[in-house]
Copies of this chain bind each other. A is one copy, B any other.
Amino acid sequence: IAKEMEKLLEMETQLGDEGKSKFVLKTPKGTRDYNPKQMAIRERVFNAIITCFKRHGAEVIDTPVFELKETLTGKYGEDSKLIYDLKDQGGELLSLRYDLTVPFARYLAMNKIINIKRYHIAKVYRRDNPAMTRGRYREFYQCDFDIAGQFDPMIPDAECLKIVHEILSELQLGDFLIKVNDRRILDGMFAVCGVPESKFRTICSSVDKLDKMPWEDVRSEMVGEKGLSPEAADHIGEYVQLHGGLDLIEQLLQDPKLSQNKLAKEGLGDMKLLFEYLTLFGITGKISFDLSLARGLDYYTGVIFEAVLVQQENNQVEEPVSVGSVAGGGRYDGLVGMFDPKGRKVPCVGVSIGIERIFSIMEQKLEASAEKIRTTETQVLVASAQKKLLEERLKLISELWDAGIKAEMLYKKNPKLLNQLQYCEDTGIPLVAIVGEQELKDGVVKLRVVATREEVDVRRESLAEEIKTRTSQT
């Protein structure tokens, strides 16, 4: 027994030590750091998106990363369980924002703004099961563009789709398709199929699963779990396989049942108008009116849309295979009213760019390509060929900085020229300004082009200009 005890005590000691030294060096689950290379890619993607948002005249706002818990309560339906709450440390109860749309609506109501076109790029937080290889994280960026205000129908809605089209074309991620539908058409369809009104939202969220599940499974969820009649489900099944363009809209406007439903008729009328505007924008080639598109969130009230990348299969007869959503949005005319003390509504339509998935794709593409990504913009390295020239390097680099030149030097007293040149090779710095005894006497600096090894003496007073000229193509 004594031996056994000894063993146990030893094990305990070991475990104790392990516990102590086992400080885990990691980022929280579902989050990541961005290293300089990833940041360089991220900046490229952000720039393309921000340029587009600004081209459409958007202002920019920012809101805090957390909101009062009650601000988020009752806005996300079932997904509310994914909200991160802060610990009650005395004071207000706070939660991390779940998206940028609800804070935007809170901002509008709080500041009594009835008219704004703004973008907002910021991180949002969801305690989801992360699938990080597919670009899904618990902390991730959203890039939102929204138009708030009472306007003539479908003009802002059409602009949102134009923006998605511009961004996805610009980023060259491959072929894409923007699916469009309208919550009013869905609700009208549910009504004529015999779905009781109390089940509209839950049946809608079943339809939303059609991009991940076959119809048979969705049907059995409707009938089995949600208690819909088999006839109603089959009727829905006929509608949700429909997709097309103006012709389909016209066809449904003639549909004996749908055309009798007020909501559906309104939705179809607006859809027709939307397609007319999209024709003027010249982008209907990538738009598909798709009755199976439902979107998860509760707050949509009109047009909804989602952009997916499509992989063209070799077999041309096959339908294009969707590889995931990269943008989505829609109209939400009731959300601001939920915050206004008097319930005053501000109609809104907006689009959210799925930046993390886009970023993952870009990263993979660049990884596969030969392109070397620079993580700095340094134009010139200030170097020396001999020893004891640290002071001269410091003086020269200071002159260049003051002239607006992006310049670096090695933080060594007497660096070897080879090491300095190697640093340029490694980091992509195109030019080297070399100070030496002779050059100092002559009032010149030797400027070396890293790629060609060409060297030329430049008068010190015109060095900054020369560097600007030689690096102006970038």
Chain B residues contacting A162 (CB-CB under 8 Å) are: 398, 401
- 6 closest Cβ pairs, A-B complex: A151-B411, A36-B59, A57-B408, A31-B64, A85-B87, A34-B62
Q: Is A260 an interface residue (CB 8 A)?
A: no
Select the stretch in A103-111, A204-212, A232-240 that faces chain B: A103-111
Chain B residues contacting A152 (CB-CB under 8 Å) are: 390, 411-413
B31 lies within 8 A of A147 (CB): no
Q: Is A272 an interface residue (CB 8 A)?
A: no
Q: Which one of B28, B32, B68, B123 lies within 8 Å of A24 (CB-CB)?
A: B68
A61 lies within 8 A of B39 (CB): yes
Chain B residues contacting A316 (CB-CB under 8 Å) are: none
Chain B residues contacting A376 (CB-CB under 8 Å) are: 54, 57-59
B89 lies within 8 A of A87 (CB): no
B87 lies within 8 A of A155 (CB): no
Nearest CB on B from A73, distance (A): 10
Chain B residues contacting A398 (CB-CB under 8 Å) are: 162, 280-282
Q: Is A406 an interface residue (CB 8 A)?
A: yes
Nearest-neighbor residue (CB-CB) of A37 within chain B: B59
B23 lies within 8 A of A70 (CB): yes
User: How many protomers of this protein does the assembly include?
Assistant: 2
A55 lies within 8 A of B407 (CB): yes
Q: Which one of B89, B107, B147 lies within 8 Å of A127 (CB-CB)?
A: B89
Chain B residues contacting A63 (CB-CB under 8 Å) are: 27, 33-34
Q: Which one of B61, B111, B411 lies within 8 Å of A155 (CB-CB)?
A: B411
Nearest CB on B from A19, distance (A): 12
Q: Is A377 an interface residue (CB 8 A)?
A: yes
Q: Given that A27-B64, A28-B67, A64-B33 are known contacts, is A56 also in contact with B106, CB under 8 Å in the complex?
A: no
Q: Which one of B84, B123, B276, B339 lies within 8 Å of A86 (CB-CB)?
A: B84
> Taking beta carbons and an 8 Å cutoff, which residues of A are in contact with B?
21, 23-29, 31-36, 39-40, 42-43, 54-68, 70, 84-89, 91-92, 94, 96, 106-107, 109-111, 116, 118, 123, 125, 127, 139, 147, 149, 151-152, 155-156, 158, 162, 166, 276-277, 280-282, 339, 341, 375-378, 390-391, 394-395, 398, 401-402, 404-408, 411-413
B280 lies within 8 A of A59 (CB): no
Q: Given that A152-B412, A376-B58 are known contacts, is A94 also in contact with B27, CB under 8 Å in the complex?
A: no
* Complex-state Cα separation, A437 to B65, whole angstroms: 50
* Complex-state Cα separation, A341 to B23, whole angstroms: 8
Since A27-B63, A27-B110, A65-B139 are in contact, a sample of 14 more A-B pairs with Cβ atoms closer than 8 Å, ordered by chain A residue number, is A26-B110, A27-B68, A28-B68, A34-B62, A39-B62, A42-B62, A64-B139, A85-B86, A89-B127, A91-B127, A162-B401, A280-B391, A280-B394, A281-B394
Chain B residues contacting A64 (CB-CB under 8 Å) are: 27-28, 31-33, 139
Nearest-neighbor residue (CB-CB) of A380 within chain B: B57
What would be 14 A-B contacts, judged by CB atoms less than 8 Å apart?
A: A26-B68, A27-B63, A28-B66, A31-B64, A33-B107, A33-B110, A42-B62, A54-B376, A55-B401, A60-B375, A65-B65, A65-B125, A85-B87, A162-B401
Nearest-neighbor residue (CB-CB) of A429 within chain B: B57
A151 lies within 8 A of B31 (CB): no
Q: Given that A411-B147, A411-B156 are known contacts, is A395 also in contact with B280, CB under 8 Å in the complex?
A: yes
Nearest CB on B from A319, distance (A): 29
Chain B CB within 10 Å — which of A155, A341, A407 has the most?
A: A155
* Complex-state Cα separation, A332 to B109, whole angstroms: 46
* Complex-state Cα separation, A67 to B276, whole angstroms: 50
